[in-house]
Amino acid sequence: MTFPEDALTDDKFLTGRLRLLQPAQGYRAATDPVLLAAACPATAGQSVLDLGCGAGAAALCLAARVPGLSLAGLELQPEYAALARRNAARNGIAMQIETGDITAIPAELRRGFDHVIANPPYYPAAGSPSPVKLRDTALRVETPLAAWVAAAATRLNPGGWLTMIFSTPNLPEALGALAPKLGSPLVLPLAPRLGREAPRLILRARKTGRAAFRLLPPFVLHEGAAHDGDRENYTPEANAVLRDGASLSAAFR
């Protein structure tokens, strides 16, 4: 199963370093997968599994910053899995992509990884965030966040890192799911502006980690107290990540 060619857009990421095909009416990657990729502390030669990889945005943004990674992705929806394969190929990036559910990971991915990244659905199961079925499936919570954490813990090598981005109200569930396999949690709030509450956050946790929980200063995305016109107003730090593909490593110190 694939998306019709006339239903796709060809979008630039990282100021054109990546070109990704996305459905015009389905789930479309925005800033979250770029921020997720920037937060993953992978280095050349390591292996990375993207759970719920969609069209491949997060893993491919990571590969654009860190060459020499061994990439794999798992995607529930066959249409998106096929699109992720196309996007990897058209950007010259090797990536194994399998179709399946995180609660029953395919045999082809049952090995250890140095990193697992994930951008799980964030709308509650009740109601529907989108009339478009494929987008609805990508956005609505059908599998608890704890199951995503458990799937990641199973696939991580000892000492490996889980990096996830999700809605702030889901933090207690995620933290409660870490033990006994994951520890050393680091939480980076993503604030839209200085002094605003952070609706989203990034969580890092390490397999066999034993360090204490740390709540980091917020990473602020936009300058000023409010939007002041039809233009982007990212902070210099956010612009470096979203446009230039910089790492968020400094924010996790």
pLDDT tens sequence across 138-173: 443 479 999 999 999 999 999 999 999 999 999 999
pLDDT (tens digit, 9 = 90+) per residue, 168-188? 999 999 999 999 999 999 999
CA distance 157 to 139: 29
Under DSSP, the state recorded for 5 is: G
pLDDT (tens digit, 9 = 90+) per residue, 206-226? 999 999 999 999 999 999 877
Q: Who's near 47: CB < 8 A, 6+ residues apart?
A: 69, 70, 71, 72, 112, 113, 114, 115
pLDDT (tens digit, 9 = 90+) per residue, 80-137? 999 999 999 999 999 999 999 999 999 999 999 999 999 999 756 555 544 555 544 4
CA distance 158 to 182: 9
Structure tokens at 246: 């910089």
pLDDT (tens digit, 9 = 90+) per residue, 196-207? 999 999 999 999
pLDDT class of 5 with cuts at 50, 70, 90: very high
User: The domain 5-222+229-252 belongs to what CATH superfamily?
Assistant: Vaccinia Virus protein VP39 (3.40.50.150)
